[in-house]
Amino acid sequence: MRTRYVYDKGRPVLVVERGVVVLDEREPEPKAGHLIMPDIQPYISMIDGREITSRSRHREHLRAHGCEEIGNDSSLYQKP
């Protein structure tokens, strides 16, 4: 007897004469994709009041004023 499979929402399904049998009830593994990071929203610098409009200008601005962006990195607060 010939068997036929189709995919329904990423799941393999066995097609038989009198109905459909689902072979695997598990959700399919999420596929890895590309991460496209959007540009930052323009903001006014607290250092000199100029408008910063992009990530590259943000990095240049920090470098020019000797500043460092630390975020939530607690390793910078630890004593050596």
8 A C-beta contact, residue 62 and residue 71: no
Model confidence, pTM:
0.48
Say what the pLDDT of residue 2 is: 66
Q: How far apart are CA 58 and CA 42, in angstroms?
A: 10
Cα 47-39-74 angle, rounded to 5 deg: 60
Q: Which residues of the chain have pLDDT under 70?
A: 1-3, 16-30, 73-77, 80
Q: How far apart are CA 35 and CA 44, in angstroms?
A: 27
